[in-house]
Structure formats: C-alpha cells, structure tokens
Structure 1
Amino acid sequence: MKKIWATVFILFLTTALYSQQALWGNQDITSPEINSDGTVTFRIQAPEVGKVQITGDFLPSQKADTPFGPSDAPGVADLVKGDKGIWEYKTPVPLAPELYSYSFIIDGLKTTDPNNVYMIRDVASVTNVFLIRGGRADLYKVNQVPHGTVSRRWYSSPKLNMERRLTIYTPPGYENSSKRYPVFYLLHGMGGDEEAWIALGRTAQILDNLIAKGKAEPMIVVMTNGNVSQEAAPGESSLGFYKPTMQLPKTMEGSMEQSFPDVVSFVDHDYRTLKSKQGRAIAGLSMGGYHALHISKEYPDMFDYIGLFSAAIMPDKRVSSPVYQNMDEKLKVQFSKKPKLYWIAIGKTDFLYKANEDYRKLLDERRYPYVYRESEGGHIWRNWRIYLTEFAPLLFR
C-alpha cells in the first residue's frame, strides 16, 4: 500500500512540476519599462550574442520599398550590453501617448521580446506591443466603462458557395435590450482578415470608450474577411495552421464586392439591425478602402456613410470585372442619392497619396461632396486607429 501511495505521490509531483515548467527559465527582467518621465527602457538578456538591436514604430521611420511602392518602415536602434549580458536601450525622449509595436533583432535575427507577453499578429509578422497612456491613446485601452461583446460568427455565402467567418462587435446593453441598432461594416487591408481590426485596430476598446463618453452612437460593428478565397483567418479554418501571406487570390477582382450582400443579409437576419441605408455605414483601410469605395457605388441604396482610409482606388488594368466598369455612371447614381457622409483620409507620406489626390480631383470636377482628412505619416495602423476614432462619432447622428 505504501508503495502505491509513493508511486501516486511521485506521479502527482511530476505532473505538477511539468505543468509549472512554463514558469521556469524566464528572464527576471522588466521590458519594456515605462519610466516616470515618459521614456521607455527595453532589456533582454543575451550574453553570448554579438549585437542586439530594436526596431519599432516609436523610432524615427526609414524609407523602404514594398511591392506597392516606397513606404515608411520602422526605424532601428542599437542596444548596449551591460552586466550579466543584459542588453538595454532607453528612448532618448519621452514617447507620446500611443499604442506602439516593436521587435528585437539579435545578430540579424528578428524576434519578439521574451519579457513581454503582449503580442499582435499582422499578416505573417508577430510583434510586441505596449501602450503609453494619455490623450487619444486612452481610447485604445480598456477603461472602467460598460463593455460590448465581441464574437466570431460563421455565415453562409451563396455567392461564394462556402461558409465564412466574420467578427462582430455588439454594443454594451445589446443582449438585454430589444432595440434595433445601426451597423458599421469595417474592412481590413491586404493580407489582413477578420481579426485585423479587432486586434490591431482596437475596435472594441475604441467603440466602448466613445459610446461611454456619448461621442458615438451605440452600433454593431461587422469586421469581415476580405479575402474571399479564405473561409477565415489563418489557423481558424479547415486548412489548419499555415503561414499567412499577402499574396492571396480573389482579393481585388470583384468577388468581394459581388458577394457582400451575403454578409448584409446574414447580419440583418441574425441581429437586431436598422435595415435601411440610413442605418448602415461602410469603411475600410487600404484594400478595405478599395472595397468600401466599390461596394458603396455598386449598391448605392445600401450605405449612407462611406469611409476611405488610405484607400487603394482603381483596379489593376488587367482586371475586367463588371464591378469596375462604368465607374463614372455608378458614382453619378451614388451621389445623386445624397449619402450623408463620404469621408476620405490619408497620411501625407502614404504611397497611395497620389491615387487619393487624383480621386479627389475627380470628385471635385463632378462637384460630389466629401470630407477630407490628411494626417502625418504613411500607410500605418497608427493612422487607421486615429481615423476610426474620428469617423465613428460622425455616424448615425
């Protein structure tokens, strides 16, 4: 009997120790450390390596070539090696309130900070994040306000002949009320998916905080997957785990626009919505702005509020979808129906700036009204979060 209890005890101890192994081997280091003066210190213990750098959007940007043209890229700075092989970098100046992302580069290998568990995926890259509180950045954090609900829903798309997933935010109090709500369709950029806006864009936190302050109407926000060849985000579909990529089929050739009524039908059927043009808004960033532009003109009675955030404008010349034909006539019909808001925003150094400038000239020539917002910086999430905080309060008033 004693042998049995001894065996049981050893098994219990082994299991307990195994389950706790994640607590061992971690570096007892604080990184990042937000100092009282607003500077930030980053640390990593790597005694055997020859060089450690940090790259992040809090550093002065540098130019980089992309498949779509020159764009801003995060800067790079060197860490200094100290006692016990701990490398350190302290920002030379306080950082302004913002949600920042960063990675370490160790002997040329880009990697995450082992002392920071807070990470976000953007397409195939995973970076650490940290938040400097204050100002607009307080909209990006969880505050002690009523919270909405974020759910992942599967819906049937007859047009695409597949089941697909989207992310839906319902406002505080939705479950306990019987009222109907307006719907804001919020679309991601190339390489993104239905997780992009809720993670990188901080949609739930922004809406919770704006609604609590009385600065935005309570609304449902629907975040779709604009890659119509996908069922869902990488790792969330029947394809299992695979490396995400920006090079996906059927992204900007008309299928997204043609199938979008399937999304609206599902949302109107399963949620208490205002089923009218006055109760719907659509906006998107980059590729999502492209989709928002063409969806809204393709269905001029569907949306009263349209937002183009750093939008791609015209299709590739090799694309022949009817969605992109007769654009002048379709815009004429859309603006004859007097949408309540047509909102265009872009950064001064965005590689899509010229395309947006040309599109605004077209609208000006035809005297189609729109609101224009120009910001600093380029094709970056920092701008798109700002645009969301400014666009959402204009809806459904």
Structure 2
Amino acid sequence: MKKLVICCLHVLLALATYAQKPENTYSVQGWWGPASAPYSPVVHTDRTITFRLLAPKATTVNLSFGEWDIVPKAMTKDKSGNWEITIPAVAPGIYSYQYNVDGLSMPDPKNPVLKVGTEVYGSVVEVPGMPARFDEVQLVPHGILQQIKYQSSELKKPRGMVVFLPPSYQSDQKRQFPVLYLRHGGGDNETSWTQAAGKADVILENLIAAQKAKPMLIVMTNGLTDGTWAGGSTKAGVAQLEAELLRDVIPYMEKNYRVIPKKEARAIAGLSMGGGQAYLIGLKNLQTFNYVGEFSAGLLSDNKFDINERIPGIFNDPSTVNSKLKLLWIACGKDDPRFQGHVALDYTLTEKQIQHEFHQSAGGHEWRFWREQLAGFMQRLF
C-alpha cells in the first residue's frame, strides 16, 4: 500500500510539472529581409572593381592586384575604419589579389573564393565577359569532379587525385574515353587545376559544348613528393612520380573508369614544375603517351639543363620520336623570366629535328597564360 501511495505521488508530481507550459524565448524573427549590398569585392557594370576591408586599427592598407608585375595600390580609410579602393576597368578575366595590412599580407576576409595550394596565396575575383569567357561557367552540359584516394606504391602512403568526368561519361554508359593526365605547379596541389584560378573542368566543358574538343577525362595528381619544388623536379623526385603514375594512377584509372587503354588515347601536360614533369615523363614513355604539353617549365629553361642526363640519347634518333609522338607542345609567356630558356629549348628541338610547336604570347608566370595554353592544347588532342 505504501508503494502504491509513493507511485501515485510521483504521477501527480509529473502531471503538475507537465501542466506548467515551458517558456520559449527563441525567435527567428528578423532573420529574413532584403540581402545587404555586397561589401568586397564589388564588380561594377563598367568592369571597375571596389575592394574594402574593415581594419579600424590599421595605419596603412595596400591592395596587391594581379599575378604579374604587381604594383601595390594604397587604400583610403573612412571614419568607421573601412579601407576602400576602386580600381579602373579591367578586361574580363580571373584575377588574384590580397591586402597588405601594416606589412602583413592577407586574403580578403569577405571573399570565400581563394587561391590555395601548399599555402593560401590570396583571394580571387572574376570579371564576366560578354560573350562569356572561354574559362567562365556557361549554360552548357556540366561534368563531374571526383576526389579519389589511392595508395602510392612508390611513396608508400595514401595520395589524392582529382578526376574530371565529361558530361557524356554519365549519359553514354557504353562509351570509353581518352585521358589527359594534367600536372600542377610547384606551389600547388592536385586540386589547383580545378580551383578558381585553374578552371580546367570549366574550360573543357565549354570546348566540348562548342565542339572544339573531344570529350575526355582529366586526371590531376599531386606532383610533390615531399612538399618542395626540388622533390617534384630532381631526377630522383621525377622518377618517383613517374613510377607512381605508371604503376598506380594509370592502372587505377583503367580498372575503375571507362577509359581507352591505349597510348593513342593518353596525353600528359603540366604547368611550371608540372610542365617539366610532363615533358620528361612523356618523352621517356613514348609507348604510353601520344601527346605531351609543357607550359612555362623552369627546369627546361635552365641553361644547365641536359635532357641526356634525364633521358639518355632520347634525341639521337629523331625519326623514332617523331613517329611515336603525335604532338609535342611547349609554351611560355614573353614576360616570364623563363622565356629565353624556352627560346633556347625551341632552338634545340629544331636543331635536333624533333617535331614540336612553340606557343608564346604576352604574359608572365601566371594562371591566365596557363588557362589559355590548356585550352589550345586540349583542342589538339585525340
């Protein structure tokens, strides 16, 4: 009987507690309303751009705009601590920038679009074109980007790569596709070619839609063995990357994707450090690759570089090289310190009777030039 009374008391207490409605003070009122005006960067219809930074305690703030021949521009401060500058109209394109606040470089905290690799380099702003730029997202069929992990048997650790599948890869399930193995520069990683500055996937989508390039997969691996330029450029480093590509990456792609397992359906290219890798790996493996492209490779521009130290006797029989290689594409911007080295490389290849194309235009060691070269190179493949 005593237990029953206690139980009833518990029930009555619970009912009394339940009867007291809890007070709810949480509210979402005021969460919605007109979107606030963009703060920074603001691209105006006349293609001028306004940059702003809230730094009330700063004494000097400069804007560094662009990738080459950068001249810092002083920003002005208002009474609220907002620093501001509007730069003159620029051509449609993709631009990098950063702020220098009392000697400290930093990206734009109001802009989530970043240029990153082995470090954060700065922010990115796009100025649309009319008609749309070749490297601008357009109303065309879009492909798929995948991030893949695989085990490197050469480096004995997990590694990452990014794979781009063209739009028709999903729509045509019976079709096999060629592959471009695309390599990044010294301060970048496997994601750099598809980030805001690279746009490799966007460029290819637009070219395919315009029927200027064949549908192909793009495979982008990490070209650093130890995080340094030397690790991606020395004889030992390139040999490791070559082994990884041939033993791990290509077999992985041909096992897990519908790709054509023939040299006629493989190309290799890269920029800067990756351009040197593509040139050396491609020429050393003419039985594997039919197309080789390098853009602005510093290694190949070095006046002490000797191809025979890397690939002994490769040019002793030019007819063999020419018969096995469909396209050898070299390129460098005229304002790049590596340009004279590429002029010398062009001379050497011509002297050795190696069929090739030398592409050059205004520009330095910058993504604008590399995007243009990639677009031209992809139109010649397969």
Q: Same fold (TM over 0.5)?
A: yes
Indicate the larger mover: 132-141 or 97-106: 132-141
The question of 1:198 aligning with 2:194 is answered: yes
Structure 1 segments unaligned to the other structure (5+ residues): 63-73, 230-244
Tell whether 2:225 aligns with 1:228.
yes
Compared CA separation, residues 321 and 214, structure 1 to 2 (3 A): closer
Matching residue of 1:342: 328
Report the CA distance between 1:155 and its aligned residue. Answer: 2.4
Deviation by residue 1:126-184 (Cα, 9 ceiling, x = unmatched): 41111111169623232221110100112233333333221100100212321010101
The aligned counterpart of 2:356 is 370
1:11-48 residue CA offsets vs partner (Å, 9 max, x unmatched): xx49x89xx9xx9xxx9752111122221111223233
| 1:57-91 superposed Cα distances (whole Å, 9 cap, x missing partner) | 07xx54xxxxxxxxxxx321001123423221111
* Aligned 8 A contact 2:233 2:276 in 1: no
Provide the C-alpha distance between the structure 2 equivalents of 1:136 and 1:313, rounded to a whole number of angstroms: 37
Q: CA deviation at 1:365?
A: 0.6
* Alpha carbons of structure 1 residues 86 and 29: separation in structure 2 relative to 1, 3 Å: farther
Structure 1 residue 248: deviation in Å?
A: 6.3
Aligned in 2, Cα 1:201/1:137: closer, same or farther, shift over 3 Å?
Answer: farther
Q: Provide the C-alpha distance between the structure 1 equivalents of 2:278 and 2:292, rounded to a whole number of angstroms.
A: 7
The DSSP-based 3-state class of the residue aligned with 2:52 is strand
Alpha-carbon spacing, 1:307–1:316, altered in 2? closer, same or farther (3 Å): closer
Q: Deviations 1:248-303 (Å, cap 9, x if unpaired)?
A: 64653321123321221111111111111211111000111111111111111111
| TM-score (ref. length: structure 1) | 0.81
**Superposed counterparts of 1:17-28, under 5 Å:** none
Q: 1:323 to 1:196 in 2, by over 3 A?
A: farther
Q: Map residues 1-397 of structure 1 onto 2, 5 A cutoff.
A: 1=17, 6=22, 9=24, 13=26, 30-57=39-66, 61-62=68-69, 74-91=70-87, 93-134=88-129, 138-177=133-172, 178-199=174-195, 200-229=197-226, 246=228, 249=231, 251-253=233-235, 254-262=239-247, 263-314=249-300, 324-329=310-315, 332=318, 335-396=321-382
Measured in 2, the distance between the counterparts of 1:316 and 1:357 equals 11
TM-score normalised by structure 2 residue count: 0.84
CA RMSD of aligned residues (A): 3.2
Secondary structure (helix, strand or coil) at the match of 1:395 reads: coil
Q: Distance in 2 between matches of 1:367 and 1:247?
A: 31
Checking the alignment, whether the CA contact within 8 Å between 2:315 and 2:352 is kept in structure 1 is no
- Residue by residue over 1:87-109, the C-alpha shift from the partner in whole angstroms, topping out at 9 and shown as x without a partner, is 21111x31001101111112222
Matched residue type, 2:50: T
> Which of these two proteins has the greater Rg computed from alpha carbons?
2
**Cα distance in 2 for residues equivalent to 1:333 and 1:252:** 28
The whole-number CA distance in structure 2 between the counterparts of 1:385 and 1:5 is 64
Question: Quick one: structure 1 residues 184 and 87, their matched pair in 2 at CA, closer, same or farther if it must change by over 3 Å?
Answer: same
SS of 1:131's equivalent in the other structure is strand
Gapped runs of 5+ residues in structure 2?
1-16
Alpha-carbon distance between aligned partners in 1 of 2:205 and 2:368, rounded to the nearest angstrom = 19
Q: CA deviation at 1:315?
A: 10
The answer to whether the 8 A contact 1:131-1:137 is kept is no
Larger deviation: 146-155 or 132-141?
A: 132-141
Q: How far is 1:345 from its partner?
A: 0.9
Secondary structure, in 3 states, of the residue corresponding to 1:210? helix
Cα pair 2:294 2:329 within 8 Å, conserved: yes
Q: Could you tell me how far apart the structure 1 residues matched to 2:74 and 2:124 are?
A: 19
CA drift of 1:198 comes to: 1.1
Label 1:3 to 1:216 Cα distance change in 2 as closer, same or farther (>3 A). farther
Q: Note if contact 1:252-1:287 (Cα within 8 Å) is conserved in structure 2.
A: no
Task: Name the % identity.
Answer: 31
CA distance in 2, matches of 1:28, 1:336: 58
Matched residues in 2 for 1:57 and 1:114: separation? 18
Instruction: Report the Cα offset of residue 307 of structure 1.
Output: 0.7
